Amino acid sequence: MEKIRILNLSKRYGKVLAVDSATFSVEDKEFFSLLGPSGCGKSTVLRCVAGLEEPTEGEIYIGQTRVNSTVDGINVPTELRPIGMVFQNYAVWPHMTVYENIAYPLKIKKLPKELIQAKLKVALHTVGLERLADRYPNQLSGGEQQRVALARALIKEPEVLLLDEPLSNLDAKLREQMRFELKDLQRRTGIPILYVTHDQAEALAMSDRLAVMNAGRIIQVGAPTEIYTHPADRFVADFIGLMNFLPGRVLGRSGEEATVEFLGGHRLNVADRSGLSGGCVVAVRPEDITLSLTGPIRCRVEVRNYSGNLVDYKVRADDAVLRVQTPKTEIFAEGKELGITIHRAMLFQLGEGRGSG
């Protein structure tokens, strides 16, 4: 069942088209992410769902309720939408304790004290803050402040939860820890989440599905594995994970397989349904390359970075520089003459939109 449905959503600021005909849905109990570079329109979509921005065109449904329709002049105020929202800076009030921050949405509704206490107990337990109820925000870590903001959003028992880059202000280790906490929280509560981020690792790790945005448009929607292994275009391929792009030429086809030539005459059979012929771009993930003494494409190790769980190399082959990632047990010295074997590649059209990285 769809918990959020967005149809042909557009938003203009003067002459700037921030969101261009976005259409997608978020299912019940689903963790759905909007992913893209800064300025792509993802936060604007979220703010339109929240009622903080009014769309220029389109419709938005939350559950069965149409909260926006530019054609019919519908724009339900934020406070009447069944949502909880957590901002990038958490918006935790510094003069209130954890208890007071979380209880605030219920107090302004003037609910009975006994009901507030009961709901507060559940909310504190859900985010693991029972022992910190009497502390002020300046006595909390960044992760604890984020959990306060989450509990305040959850205590209203919203139909959907909207999260706008909530981990971006945390350090790297805490950010990784909070990914698991957020996913676990979503699974326990069953509340569908619409999550905005520019961090591809976050989106891949937490999402059931995600939408990749660029320049106001949704480029591809799918499960993380689908988008990583079968990107819709060069932008998505470049933005999601690391990718080597090399000039090549399609020599022939047999069914859904193309024979491509690149890197000084090396030939590779590539699974490809695009129908490309002639000049093309060959895209290869670093983990789809093996380094060895006997690989068919000769190369030289220029830079080696040891990352603990893997070794990240830059190698030069036929005047091209490639990123290669190997298991931590395979360590080659900088300057070493080796060979590479490419196991999998993707093909894209020459001149296709380039990514940001």
285 contacts 242 by C-beta, under 8 angstroms: yes
Lowest mean pLDDT among 10-19, 107-116, 216-225, 342-351: 107-116
- The alpha carbons of the chain give a radius of gyration, in whole angstroms, of 24
Nearest to 297 by CA among 288, 289, 308: 289
* 29-60: pLDDT as tens digits: 999 999 999 999 999 999 999 999 999 999 99
**Euclidean distance between CA atoms 315 and 169, whole angstroms:** 34
Q: How many CB atoms lie within 10 A of CB 180?
A: 11
Structural domains of the chain in order of their starting residue, each with its CATH number = 2-236 (3.40.50.300), 242-349 (2.40.50.140)
Concatenated DSSP letters of 205-225:
HH-SEEEEEETTEEEEEE-HH
User: Looking at residue 357, what is its pLDDT?
Assistant: 34
The answer on pLDDT for 137 being more than 90 is no
Q: How far apart are CA 235 and CA 212, in angstroms?
A: 9
Q: Which residue has the tokens 């219920």?
A: 106
pLDDT one-digit tens code per residue, 192-249: 999 999 999 899 999 999 999 999 999 999 999 999 999 999 999 999 999 999 999 9
